[in-house]
Amino acid sequence: MFSTVSVKEIFSVTLILFSVIDILGAIPIIVELRRREGHIESGKATIVAGLLMFLFLFIGTSILKLFGVDVESFAVAGALIMFLLGLEMVLNIEIFKPDPEQSSGNSTIVPLAFPLLAGAGTMTTLISLRAEYEKVNILVGVVINLIVVYLVLKSSGKISRILGHSGTLVLRKVFGIILLAIAIKLAKGNYTQLI
């Protein structure tokens, strides 16, 4: 198991997931949720998001087999979603509309843990990553991202004040461009395997 550990793969997976989860770009939403609810249960949100990610990483392929879809096809579809997420970040547009009927009350699980942290983009990305990276490296990348998510949730007020509105926008656009490039690479690599 440890022979397949690769620092390069861990770094790539961590960066891809960091771009998709976009925890820094979500700071304005987190700050608004904190203002509206009074507090956010950072630990609970991180644990629920992590469980969703691990479950989808391990049983996502079984679900695909149930529907007769191969990992490469799903990876190309995932790359398209990652591309659209990148476009959202770079162009500051909204392609994926939020559900207007989301439940009111405590926002720790909905919309924070799901779909903000572990949404469709994150889950699709995890299955797409399995087509290209070793599972152990993906696991380490997920854990690193969960630690970052927890730290950002805990200190979202301070980070928002430090970055300011323009700083948050710049970070969002930089990670959007990285995500676009990764999506193109992922689609190109898996599309050639399908042909």
Give the mean model confidence (pLDDT) for residues 132-158.
93
Q: What is the pLDDT of residues 46-88, one digit of tens each?
A: 999 999 999 989 998 788 889 998 877 877 887 888 788 888 8
How many residues comprise the chain? 195
Buried b (16+ CB within 10 A) or exposed e, 113-142: bbbbbbbebbbbbbbbbbbbbbebbbbbbb
Asked whether the predicted pLDDT for residue 7 surpasses 90, the reply is yes
Structure tokens at 87: 């476009």
Question: Among 191, 143, 170, which Cα is nearest to 89's?
Answer: 170
Asked whether the predicted pLDDT for residue 99 surpasses 70, the reply is no
**SS3 call for 152:** helix
Give the mean model confidence (pLDDT) for residues 134-140.
95
Instruction: Determine the pLDDT at residue 101.
Output: 56
Q: How confident is the model at residue 192 (pLDDT cuts 50, 70, 90)?
A: confident
Asked whether the predicted pLDDT for residue 103 surpasses 50, the reply is no
Q: How confident is the model at residue 143 (pLDDT cuts 50, 70, 90)?
A: very high
Cα four-point dihedral sign 174, 176, 179, 185: negative
Cα four-point dihedral sign 52, 12, 150, 109: negative
Average of per-residue pLDDT values in the chain: 83
> Global pTM?
0.75
Instruction: Determine the pLDDT at residue 96.
Output: 67
